């Protein structure tokens, strides 16, 4: 059965560790959507979102470390995007009062924010890295 968030090879930014972490984020997002599907509890969904947030924290630190190593010129802008994603997800966990609003906001956050971030912003880091290695 196909998953709602399907990893595709063109999402890869070229660093094996970062790409593995991105695939893990897709897995966690799919797990959350599976919990949302049947009539599971509010608490269980919140716990799964917290697990996603914890993993995002680890992942963002790894990605920011790579950007520093590579001398990525848009590091500060990218860090600000990461901070905004973390803020929005923790706000979602803290402020949603019922399952319906949690599902709606989470779906928006995952599709419009996290996945767009991986496909647009993180791919730019990969392009930068490749351009540097072609012109040493």
List interacting residues with Fe ion (CB under 5 A): 63, 122
Q: How far is the CB of 117 from Fe ion (least distance, A)?
A: 6
CA angle 13, 17, 18 (to 5 degrees): 40
Question: Distance (Å, rounded) from C-alpha 66 to C-alpha 122?
Answer: 11
Judged by CB, which is closer to Fe ion: 15, or 122? 122
Judged by CB, which is closer to Fe ion: 34, or 111? 111
Residue 16: HSE in the Cβ half-sphere, 13 Å Cα cutoff: 0
Q: How far is the CB of 67 from Fe ion (least distance, A)?
A: 8
Nearest residue to Fe ion by CB is 122
């Amino acid at each position: 059965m196909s998953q709602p968030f399907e990893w595709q090879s063109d999402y890869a930014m070229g660093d094996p560790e970062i790409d593995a972490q991105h695939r893990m984020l897709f897995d966690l997002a799919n797990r959350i959507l599976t919990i949302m599907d049947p009539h599971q509890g509010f608490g269980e969904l919140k716990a799964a979102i917290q697990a996603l947030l914890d993993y995002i924290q680890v992942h963002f630190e790894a990605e920011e470390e790579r950007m520093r190593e590579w001398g990525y010129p848009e590091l500060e802008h990218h860090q600000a995007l990461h901070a905004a994603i973390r803020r929005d997800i923790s706000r979602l966990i803290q402020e949603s009062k019922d399952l319906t609003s949690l599902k709606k906001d989470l779906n928006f956050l995952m599709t419009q924010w996290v996945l767009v971030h991986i496909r647009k912003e993180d791919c730019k880091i990969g392009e930068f890295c490749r351009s540097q290695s072609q012109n040493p």
